[in-house]
């Protein structure tokens, strides 16, 4: 019992020490620009609906950021998963594309920024679709093509690589045993390859979403952006609101962890067999 209590408290120890140290340092430095006290951040986080330095609310900015990330990410998933599965299954396609895609893989998403700006400028989904000015225009104008591209390119490679890997490492015997039962190519694809590869694919989706979320700040630093957590952070820095910077960082961390937790939950529930059958 005592042991259990201790092991439950152990993960809380480091954060508690960290916050204590923070409080101490903030008091010692006594400069809000360098390190604002903890309670100031908590106050900001406790009122996410409050209008901050005329840039909208914390909650609203998080919402806009999430829509951006999810749009770019959805694009990466729609292209990455089918392409990855096809590349994993057809050796010819793999040979054709693997080295080519490998050239782009090491490029950090941020390094694309200048090129992306040259291509897309401040064009958004709204200008692309030629929407009339109105509420819908306002929302879609927040989805700049340049941002979507940065997020897309960040999420694409983890999703693609895991899909290729998942399909390529499917046990040959499983495929053979379905073939001797009379399975067609379609059966093998739907009944063997996809289920067998799905733990790896879902793991790629999870990593991809994490990366997409991390590309957020760089994407929201692009010109034309007037909202989003990334923008909030950089703008707050220029007006000397370090407390808003930190509150934004904490929000990014919290949302990222939440998204990741969702995927972990799916993995635990649906893919227990993967762990257990090794």
Partner 1 sequence: MNTPVLSARNVHKHFLAGHGETIQAVNDVSLDVVENEFICIVGPSGCGKSTFLRMAAGLESLSQGEILYRNQPVRAPRREIGMVFQEYSLLPWRTVRDNVSLGPEIAGRSRAERDAVAREYLALVNLGDFASAMPHELSGGMRQRVAIARALANKPDVLLMDEPFGALDAHTRILLQRELLRIREHHKTTIVFVTHGVDEAVYLADRVVVMTPRPGRIRTVLPVDIPRPRDRADPAYARLTAAILDMLDTETAAPATAKEEESCPSQASM
What is the binding site for partner 1 (CB under 8 A)? 168, 171-174, 176-184, 187, 191-192, 195-196, 271, 273-274, 276-277
Nearest approach in angstroms of CB 92 to partner 1 is 14
Q: Which of 113, 96, 130, 89 is nearest to 219 (CA)?
A: 113
- The residue among 70 and 183 lying less far from partner 1, judged by its C-beta, is 183
Nearest approach in angstroms of CB 102 to partner 1 is 20
- The residue among 76 and 167 lying less far from partner 1, judged by its C-beta, is 167
- Helix, strand, coil % in the chain, rounded to nearest 5: 80, 0, 20
Burial class (CB in 10 A: 0-12, 13-18, 19+), 182: exposed
Cα 49–Cα 51–Cα 57 angle in degrees, nearest 5: 55
Nearest approach in angstroms of CB 176 to partner 1 is 6
**Radius of gyration of the chain, Cα coordinates, nearest whole angstrom:** 23
3-state secondary structure of 124: strand
- The residue among 3 and 172 lying less far from partner 1, judged by its C-beta, is 172
- The residue among 82 and 91 lying less far from partner 1, judged by its C-beta, is 91
Nearest approach in angstroms of CB 187 to partner 1 is 5
């Amino acid at each position: 019992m005592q042991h259990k209590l201790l092991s439950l408290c152990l993960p809380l120890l480091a954060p508690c020490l960290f916050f204590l140290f923070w409080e101490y340092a903030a008091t010692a430095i006594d400069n809000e620009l360098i390190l604002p006290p903890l309670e100031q951040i908590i106050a900001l986080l406790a009122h996410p609906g409050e209008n901050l330095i005329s840039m909208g609310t914390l909650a609203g900015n998080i919402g806009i950021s999430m829509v951006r990330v999810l749009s770019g990410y959805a694009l990466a998933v729609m292209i990455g998963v089918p392409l990855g599965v096809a590349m994993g299954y057809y050796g010819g396609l793999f040979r054709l594309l693997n080295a080519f895609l490998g050239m782009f893989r090491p490029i950090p998403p941020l390094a694309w920024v200048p090129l992306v700006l040259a291509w897309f400028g401040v064009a958004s989904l709204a200008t692309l679709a030629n929407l009339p000015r109105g509420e819908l225009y306002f929302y879609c104008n927040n989805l700049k093509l340049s941002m979507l591209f940065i997020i897309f390119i960040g999420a694409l490679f983890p999703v693609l690589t895991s899909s290729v890997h998942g399909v390529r490492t499917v046990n040959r015997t499983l495929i053979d045993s379905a073939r001797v039962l009379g399975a067609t190519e379609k059966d093998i694809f739907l009944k063997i390859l996809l289920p067998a590869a799905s733990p790896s694919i879902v793991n790629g989706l999870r990593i991809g979403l994490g990366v997409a979320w991390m590309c957020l700040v760089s994407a929201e630093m692009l010109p034309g952006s007037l909202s989003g957590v990334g923008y909030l952070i950089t703008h707050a820095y220029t007006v000397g609101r370090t407390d808003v910077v930190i509150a934004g960082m904490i929000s990014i961390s919290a949302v990222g962890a939440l998204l990741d937790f969702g995927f972990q939950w799916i993995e635990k529930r649906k893919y227990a067999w993967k762990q257990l059958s090794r």
